[in-house]
Amino acid sequence: MTPCFRLFPLALCMVGAALAGCASFKPVSPSTVDQSERPALAILLFGFDIEITKLSDVKTVQGTLTPEDESTQVAEALREIQHEARWLLLSRLATGQGFRIVPLEQTDTLAEELHLKPGELPNAEQLAEFHRRLGTDLVVAGSILDYGKVRWQWLVAGIFADISWETIALGVATSWNPAVVLGNVGYELLTSPPLWFGGGYLFGVAFRPVRVEARAFETIQGYPIWQSMDESAYVWRALKALPEAVREKKETQLEVNAAEIMESLADSLTEQELTISQLRGQP
């Protein structure tokens, strides 16, 4: 396996190792799959399915940054989050002992050659190349859906669901009186958006929500064989183990939430008890 210091800057590696140590949320249940039957698994770099343009969305910021400096630091912060998410997943999978992990350098080199972008789902031809060139049985691809804030699409959906239910209830109660129904819709459109969007903002500030989705594909036929999505908002028991000056930082709170998610995703995949024979269609 590629040493940690070859994957990230030394400082990031040390922080990640400390975080992983303090944010183990439940004991690992080792896989019962025989060592000779453990599939070779490649983990692609996670992508972002949410646009993040402000550094303050993902970390505590001191002072004012120029637009150029902020853009550069946002890009650096997002790269660190992507690599750390994959490293956390890899670490937990390795502890579960259900897979043989393909070295990350080999995975990234082949992904680049195949023009696979972070978070992009591989097609059957690309998966076949992973099997042919790296002997890979499984490829995991994932996306970070939310990180530090609630996406506006969910808030809009909540607003319209709220208005729809109230409109139906009011319509039934008033025999669908147009004046009453339309009056209520107008009132809700005026009052609901500030409440929903304000609440969404406060939720992001107070709880640092993180949501991640991951899929695993077998490399013979290119079929998806596992998919899971998990979310975390506030893990106090892990945060309180950290020094106060550290746990107050937004980036620390988000990293702890991400660690809980990656642990859960890894355990879910390990619990599938997948074997080489199953994946290759052997009796």
Q: What is the pLDDT of residue 6?
A: 33
* pLDDT over 90 at 17, yes or no: no
Q: What percent of the chain has pLDDT over 90?
A: 48
Sign (positive/negative) of CA torsion 276, 47, 235, 94? positive
Q: What is the pLDDT of residue 28?
A: 85
Q: Could you tell me if 172 and 118 lie in one domain?
A: no
Q: Could you tell me if 55 and 126 lie in one domain?
A: yes
Q: Could you tell me if 190 and 267 lie in one domain?
A: no
Residue where a domain terminates, one of 171, 186, 201: 201
Q: Could you tell me if 82 and 171 lie in one domain?
A: no
Q: For residue 142, what are the domain limits?
A: 4-148+208-279
Q: Could you tell me if 193 and 80 lie in one domain?
A: no
Q: What is the pLDDT of residue 266?
A: 96
Are 181 and 171 in contact, with CB atoms under 8 Å apart? Answer: yes
Q: Could you tell me if 9 and 121 lie in one domain?
A: yes
Q: Could you tell me if 71 and 18 lie in one domain?
A: yes
Q: What is the pLDDT of residue 257?
A: 86
Q: Could you tell me if 31 and 98 lie in one domain?
A: yes
pTM, whole model, 2 decimals?
Answer: 0.71
Name 104's Cβ contacts closer than 8 Å, sequence gap at least 6: 2, 7, 43, 86, 90
Q: Could you tell me if 60 and 157 lie in one domain?
A: no
Q: Could you tell me if 11 and 134 lie in one domain?
A: yes
Q: Could you tell me if 256 and 196 lie in one domain?
A: no
Which residue did the predictor score with more confidence, 219 or 281? 219
Q: Could you tell me if 110 and 175 lie in one domain?
A: no
* pLDDT over 80 at 2, yes or no: no
Residue where a domain terminates, one of 140, 168, 201: 201
* pLDDT over 80 at 198, yes or no: no
CA pair distance 53, 155, nearest whole angstrom: 19
Residue where a domain terminates, one of 201, 220, 241: 201
Confidence of residue 234 (pLDDT cuts 50, 70, 90): low
Query: Total domain count for the chain?
Result: 2
Q: What is the mean pLDDT of the chain?
A: 77
- Among 130-139, 183-192, 204-213, 247-256, whose mean pLDDT is lowest? 183-192
